[in-house]
């Protein structure tokens, strides 16, 4: 037997592989950035599956830890990406000091929320120093010159791992960058961390057997969402000025909802997606995932989209479309015509979500905008959930990756399977079950196309600029309790651009809420979710990304009380 292919006498267990990876990640945090023992001992138990309600944001631990200087606290807490870029261009900031400030804060966020996977702080500082030298010589690389950018674990960075929470993929160093990574580097960005995800990306809670569970900085007893949950938690903790996530069924917008941040899911092809590590058979491509920005303000979403699309993504990725950024700063109508997505009976909204939507509608109407309630029958939300669930279920790649690593599925993976069964199949003809997988794919795609045509007629009928919708039927939920992502998934199936906008916090509602076996919404616990971030979602028709962000900016300004809003 060839010794190079022989099986080791004592192969590592999946637990040993995972533990080894965790230890290496812990060692990558500089000793000087380790939280004092006194701070850690003052906190309740927050590891594992915490039930203790702890607001890490209110604790202001970055300040009390003494790890960040006053200037570093100001850099991370008082600036958007736009103001940082302006300061970098003017020489008010150096890339080295901005990168160091966010690196320190990300290290603290990791120790409290478990939001990171890979860290490359030293390499980031070296790059920042190089970028500062280029700036002094009058040779800036591009519109993101010197700005730290955090990215989801699925993106490949040469020399690091992209295991997407799967033991089977541990130990594989990337030999190339993802297309978007190359583009961001060419624009002058500084990459410094990668962020945690669910096991094989396939749930809306960021938990896996390697890195563990990411906690919500606003309430550690609640999920940070997924699959870009590490990004959401890091941004909420102000550990990043700009994050990049991906979205297959709500994976940008749900963490944005859970963590109180902004998030944008572009139409497929607008942002380069190539050379990522994904748990999908690319040849099936039932629902195409997209990459998009996450941030603490609306302007950063716009900065990212314009910078990336202006850089000609098709040069970096064959699947990217050659559609230049159209520079739409104003929506089509001075006073918006907005559809209001109805509450689907299969996915009833929790009281705080209903209250949020009602408040948003009231504010928009008071600003002179027109809101048109849509009929539940013409929106097909339940039907879309059933079709998209069945389409995704045709690809067995995620399950095979988990199995090949010898690890068990985490609870949220099992819960997602249960949710898939719970949404039913009322809209799918019974004869589909008797078809082979290729015929099933064709039949489901035909239903999908019919739904897209129905939505085309809806846009024309009501002459809409955009539609208002909940980001989910709930706020952030207790760990292990998040439901099927109905209000985001259907937009992925239609490939519509959508923006999540944070608005308010959940108050304790005395409104009764009941759920039964015919509902796909988790139980409502008012005491647990009180204070959780709330959100609204704005979406437009396919490839109208510029219009989506323009409308979202107007809506956001109204919600923030900006009197200059239309």
Annotated catalytic, 251? yes
d(CA 356, CA 363): 11
Residue 335, judged by CB atoms within 10 A of its CB (0-12, 13-18, 19+), counts as: middle
Residues 6+ apart with CB under 8 A from 484: 347, 385, 389, 416, 419, 420, 422, 423, 520
454, two tokens: 């129905």
Tokens encoding 345: 């009976």
207 phi and psi angles, rounded to 5 deg: -145, 135
Q: Which residues partner with 505 through β-bridges?
A: 533
Please tell me the number of Cα atoms within 13 Å of 518 on its side-chain side: 4
Nearest to 150 by CA among 77, 234, 87: 234
Q: How many H-runs (helices) and E-runs (strands) does the chain carry?
A: 21, 13
Which entry of 95, 206, 228, 251 is annotated as an active-site residue? 251
Give me the catalytic one of 17, 21, 104, 152: 152
Q: Which tokens belong to 415? A: 């819960």
Count of positions (residues) in the chain: 566
Q: Phi and psi for 26 in degrees, rounded to 5?
A: -65, -40
Q: Whole-angstrom Cα distance, residue 41 to residue 329?
A: 50
Can you say how many angstroms the Cα of residue 489 is from the centroid of all Cα atoms in its chain? 13
Contacts of 100 (CB under 8 A, 6+ apart): 72, 125, 128
The span from the CA of 103 to the CA of 265, in Å, is 26
3 state DSSP class of 408: coil
Q: Is 320 a catalytic residue?
A: no
Stretch (H or E) spanning 234: helix 229-236
Which one from 103, 154, 227, 256 is the annotated catalytic residue?
Answer: 227
Q: Known catalytic residues? A: 152, 227, 251
């Amino acid at each position: 037997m060839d010794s190079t292919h022989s099986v080791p006498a004592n192969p590592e267990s999946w637990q040993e592989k995972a533990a080894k990876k965790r230890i290496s990640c812990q060692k990558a945090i500089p000793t000087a950035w380790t939280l004092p023992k006194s701070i850690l001992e003052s906190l309740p138990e927050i590891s594992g599956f915490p039930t203790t309600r702890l607001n890490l944001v209110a604790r202001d631990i970055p300040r009390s830890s003494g790890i960040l200087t006053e200037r570093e606290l100001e850099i991370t807490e008082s600036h958007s990406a736009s103001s940082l870029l302006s300061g970098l261009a003017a020489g008010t900031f150096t890339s080295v000091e901005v990168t160091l400030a966010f690196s320190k804060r990300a290290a603290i966020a990791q120790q409290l929320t478990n939001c990171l996977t890979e860290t490359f702080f030293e390499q980031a500082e070296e790059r920042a120093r190089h970028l500062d030298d280029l700036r002094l010589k009058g040779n800036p690389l591009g519109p993101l010159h010197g700005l730290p950018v955090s990215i989801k674990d699925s993106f490949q960075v040469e020399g690091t791992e992209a295991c997407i929470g799967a033991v089977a993929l541990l130990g594989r160093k990337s030999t190339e960058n993802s297309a978007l990574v190359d583009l961001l580097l060419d624009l002058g960005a500084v990459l410094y961390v990668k962020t945690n995800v669910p096991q094989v990306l396939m749930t809306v809670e960021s938990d896996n057997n390697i890195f563990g569970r990411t906690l919500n900085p606003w309430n550690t007893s609640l999920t940070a969402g997924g699959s870009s949950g590490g990004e959401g938690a890091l941004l909420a903790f102000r550990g990043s000025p700009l994050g990049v996530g991906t979205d297959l069924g709500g994976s940008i917008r749900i963490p944005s909802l859970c963590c109180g941040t902004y998030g944008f899911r572009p139409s497929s092809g607008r942002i380069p997606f190539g050379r990522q590590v994904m748990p999908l058979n690319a040849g099936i491509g039932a629902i195409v995932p997209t990459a998009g920005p996450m941030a603490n303000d609306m302007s950063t979403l716009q900065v990212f989209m314009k910078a990336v699309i202006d850089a000609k993504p098709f040069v970096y990725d064959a699947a990217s479309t050659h559609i230049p950024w159209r520079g739409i700063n104003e929506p089509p109508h001075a006073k918006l015509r907005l559809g209001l997505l109805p509450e689907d009976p299969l996915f009833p909204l929790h009281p705080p979500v209903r209250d949020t939507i009602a408040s948003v509608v009231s504010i928009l109407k008071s600003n002179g905008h027109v809101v048109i309630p849509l009929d539940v029958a013409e929106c097909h939300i339940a039907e879309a959930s059933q079709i998209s669930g069945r389409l995704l279920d045709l690809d067995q790649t995620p399950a095979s990756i988990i199995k090949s690593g010898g690890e068990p599925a985490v609870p949220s993976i099992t819960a997602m399977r249960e949710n898939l069964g719970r949404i039913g199949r009322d809209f799918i003809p019974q004869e589909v079950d008797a078809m082979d997988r290729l015929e099933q794919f064709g039949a489901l795609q035909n239903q999908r196309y019919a739904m897209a045509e129905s939505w085309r007629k809806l846009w024309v009928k009501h002459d809409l600029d955009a539609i208002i919708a909940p980001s989910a039927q709930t706020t952030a939920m207790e760990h292990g309790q998040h439901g099927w992502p109905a209000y985001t998934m259907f937009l992925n199936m239609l490939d519509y651009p959508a923006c999540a906008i944070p608005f308010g916090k959940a108050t304790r509602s005395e409104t009764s809420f009941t759920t039964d076996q015919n509902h796909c919404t988790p139980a409502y616990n008012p005491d647990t979710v009180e204070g959780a971030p709330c959100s609204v979602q704005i979406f437009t028709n396919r490839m109208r990304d510029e219009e989506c962000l323009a409308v979202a900016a107007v809506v956001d300004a109204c919600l923030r009380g900006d009197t200059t809003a239309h």
